[in-house]
Amino acid sequence: MPVVCALNFDHISLAQRDRIGDILCTLPDAHWPEVQQALMIACGFSELVSPRE
């Protein structure tokens, strides 16, 4: 994204890759653990998520 932004996991759905097109944005590797935690919570697996340090 051209400016600082935030990801929102309140609404998640599947999309066919060929309908999305080019890459929308990138995310630094260091942020992927946060993405995993947010997805687990959004999908109802909060009991499997360890507290953030």
- In this model, does residue 53 exceed pLDDT 80? no
pTM listed for this prediction: 0.66
- Over residues 7-49, the pLDDT tens digits come to 888 888 888 888 888 877 888 899 999 999 989 988 889 888 8
pLDDT of residue 1: 64
pLDDT of residue 11: 84
pLDDT of residue 30: 92
Measuring CA to CA, which residue among 31, 40, 33, 32 is closest to residue 12? 40
